[in-house]
């Protein structure tokens, strides 16, 4: 059942909740005060690496005459797109690097390499999802309007198509993000003129993105346009699936809680912090895997501090885990295969009507 009172659910006193908030605030302050040249150098290195890898991959795709060369170039392009989407686009758009006051690496100016409009995503994600995380009727990321991920969502017959819906969501995740953004904008704006303007931005971004990937770049490849076109299609597909895996493993595994809207009544900062911890999950990853997924293997820490730079999440994680042990708080984590299995088990179990015999959760 959806949680309506976080403190009562966790059996914490008001003093405990306030103390947890103070300790998490201290973590934030420590990180903010220590941000500096090394962090700025990190994000600039990432941008340089991603752009060089993207260009090198495209040259290899066009210049190689072997099938293995095409596959190597396409894999490198998919990785470059993943880094651009997650370690750069997602994190920059969260404002994680706004403290640098660099207009080229700022949440208000960065436009990512996907069909969705960054500004529209910032409202649906940074506000609707992060402020109202896992609150039923408020956070539209619960199931992405396609999947039933909690028993608190009423069962409907279209959920029987979950296996197909799930595969389509993974393969076309950038389109899901784009549609999510424009739908939230339609809910946000209060005039027909404003809605029309957002729709024009939406379709203009789609036209630019499709034109770049599937018209301009193949055309520049001249007689080898088919190699570039097929590589772009494949790289976008691989990027979409990788982003999907990272996102669902942070939000759907067993143990991730949902909340009744009543939880927002008089919610304190400490209760908000606790809701983020209860409503998210991590997966274990070394430095390379963490970087490859935008450090979203630290989804708990990201939800606690969404605007702190991603390269600091590993060190923040150590302190958050210590806090969880101190107050006997859950810290939902596991290997990537385990967390992925748990998400798929949840999604497919809830696809059938309530009461239908299924394998139990574990």
Give the Cα separation of 55 and 73 in Å (integer): 10
User: Quick one: what percent of the chain has pLDDT higher than 70?
Assistant: 98
Look at residue 307 and tell me if it is in a domain.
yes
User: What confidence tens digit (pLDDT) does each residue in 50-59 have?
Assistant: 999 999 999 9
pLDDT by residue (tens digit) across 269-326? 999 999 999 999 999 999 999 999 999 999 999 999 999 999 999 999 999 999 999 9
Q: Is residue 359 part of a domain?
A: no
120 occurs within a structural domain: yes
Q: 190-207 burial string, b = 16+ CB within 10 Å, else e?
A: eeeeebeebeebbeebbe
Assess whether pLDDT exceeds 80 at residue 356.
Answer: no
Q: What is the pLDDT of residue 358?
A: 59
Least confident of 156-160, 248-252, 354-358: 354-358
Average pLDDT, the chain: 94
- Amino acid 361: pLDDT: 44
- Domain hosting 111: range is 6-349
Q: What pTM does this model have?
A: 0.93
pLDDT greater than 50 at residue 217: yes
Tokens of 213: 């990937």
pLDDT of residue 184: 86
How many distinct structural domains can be found in the chain?
A: 1
Residue 189 in any domain: the answer is yes
Cβ atoms 149, 252 nearer than 8 A: yes
């Amino acid at each position: 059942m959806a949680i309506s009172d976080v403190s009562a659910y966790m059996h914490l006193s008001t003093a405990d909740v306030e103390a947890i908030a103070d300790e998490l605030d201290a973590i934030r302050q420590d990180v903010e005060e220590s941000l500096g040249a090394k962090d700025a150098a990190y994000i600039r290195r990432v941008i340089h690496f991603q752009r060089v890898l993207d260009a090198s991959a495209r040259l290899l795709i066009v210049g190689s005459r072997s099938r293995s060369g095409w596959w190597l170039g396409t894999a490198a392009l998919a990785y470059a797109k993943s880094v651009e989407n997650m370690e750069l686009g997602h994190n920059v758009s969260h404002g994680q690097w706004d403290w640098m006051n660099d207009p080229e690496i700022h949440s208000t100016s960065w436009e990512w390499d996907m069909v969705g409009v960054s500004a529209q995503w910032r409202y649906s994600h940074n506000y609707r999802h992060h402020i109202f995380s896992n609150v039923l009727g408020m956070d539209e990321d619960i199931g992405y309007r396609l999947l039933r991920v909690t028993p608190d969502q009423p069962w409907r017959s279209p959920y029987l198509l979950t296996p197909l819906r799930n595969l389509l969501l993974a393969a076309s995740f950038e389109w899901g993000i784009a549609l999510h953004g424009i739908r939230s904008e339609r809910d946000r704006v209060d005039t027909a003129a404003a809605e029309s303007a957002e729709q024009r931005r939406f379709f203009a971004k789609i036209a630019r993105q499709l034109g770049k990937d599937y018209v301009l770049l193949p055309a520049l490849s001249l007689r080898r346009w088919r190699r570039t076109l097929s590589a772009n299609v494949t790289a976008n597909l691989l990027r979409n699936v990788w982003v999907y895996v990272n996102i669902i493993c942070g939000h759907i595994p067993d143990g991730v809680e949902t909340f009744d809207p009543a939880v927002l009544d008089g919610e304190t900062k400490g209760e908000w912090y606790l809701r983020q911890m209860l409503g998210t999950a991590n997966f274990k990853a070394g430095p390379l895997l963490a970087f490859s997924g935008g450090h979203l293997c630290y989804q708990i820490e990201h939800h606690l501090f969404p605007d702190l730079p991603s390269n600091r999440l590993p060190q923040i994680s150590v302190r958050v885990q210590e806090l969880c042990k101190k107050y006997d708080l859950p810290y939902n984590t596991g290997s990537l295969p385990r967390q992925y299995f748990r998400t798929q088990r949840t999604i497919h179990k809830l696809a059938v009507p309530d009461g239908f015999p299924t394998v139990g959760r574990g």
